[in-house]
A and B are shown apart, each in its own frame.
Chain A
Amino acid sequence: MARQVKLAGKFATADDTARALGVPASRLDQLKALAREMTSKHAGKTASNGTKPAASEPGAKLAVKSRTKKSSRNAHTKNRATATS
């Protein structure tokens, strides 16, 4: 098993990161607001349907593909049903 390093130091916050990288305070505020907006949207989405959103990488792409296939298959069946009826 690979070695694991125990981190004991302070948790670097967005303020620490911006300070270290020289990101201006106005930009930091914009990025913080965007992060808050994204996480609150995510929380809303989770609360509304009671489930976590599907992971986007990499399985979700496949899931979308298979859903599309299934729906087009259904549409085809529906069309055939309409045609025969």
Chain B
Amino acid sequence: MAETTVAVRHIRGFTVLALVLYVLFAWMVQPDSIMVRYGRHNGSSWNLWKFRQLDEELERSHTGGRILWLVGSSMLRDSFDVEELNRSLTQNESEYRAIKFGQSRGATGISRGILKQLPLREGDVVLHGMSVENQRRDWVEFTQLPDWRIMMMNSSSEIWNIPSWGWQKKLEATVAVPRTFFLYQEEAMDGWTEWLNAPFYGEAPTEPKGRRHLEFRRKTKLKRTQKMVDESETFRNHMRSGDLDLHPTQYNIEALSDFREIVESAGATLVLFEHVGRTIYKDIYLDDDIERDWNRWFAAQPEAIQFPVPPDDGYYDMKHPNAKGRAVLTAYLVDWVTHRWDQPPMDWVTSWQQQRAKTTSMLSPSQQEPAE
């Protein structure tokens, strides 16, 4: 019995010690702690880092002091060259300057995490890109985002509204303490790994700059289109009837209503545009009814505007613009800030039909049927 008493005392002691050590180790993981700086690798983390570096007064120091906030996914990130955009806006003596927060898998639900932190002011414009593939019924599962990435960009109450998460998962995400540890542990670990690998690779690690997360990807090479067409039926991203969910409780649609609320309460303007992608995209990856429903839904959004579609060689994959596509979209955005068109003037638009004709020969007869 005496031995049991001693053993139980040991268990209590070790429990306390484990808690102390846990707090100590966990406390060492902070958003900008040294190992996180060496291991930072994901878009959300880089966007939050950029937000922390933001000097609002400096950003608003130009005449007019308004900001065009570009908030969205990797498609938005790759669509605009902010450096070029700001140079043109300065030349045009515009009262706007642009700041971009684009991240991979940054659909509306994820971008919401950035938007709600931004210091929006009256007269600012928030430009957000939307895309049909982000309106999947099971988007959170489909994207296979790690839980910490969802936690990084969503508050506890937003997490409880994710329809596809079970209550257990929601509970775990809510009680994860300290939160910064759960959010940045993976990047801290990657930093440690870089340092531990250094002796084997013979060179000291360097802090990544995150350019591909903060600016755009510099890819240009387009994969073989015919291969993509041939494999489109079995491709994971193919959306079939029933995959599209435009119901208000769907994760990204629900986030859109938050977008509206946040922007409206700041007196700013929300503008939505569609990442259309290559002309062949909808033909091979969307069932006809999905394309129809999506087009109808998007056109009905009061904030929606049309953007020009870059030429077919203006992409490095089906949806992400390369330098050529980025030049078209950036130049258009500069003009749009001045003129605020609802639809691009004809000289901006390469004819959809013309572009479609170029790719039709690759399609099978069933894919060639007109979508609308």
The answer to whether A and B assemble together is no
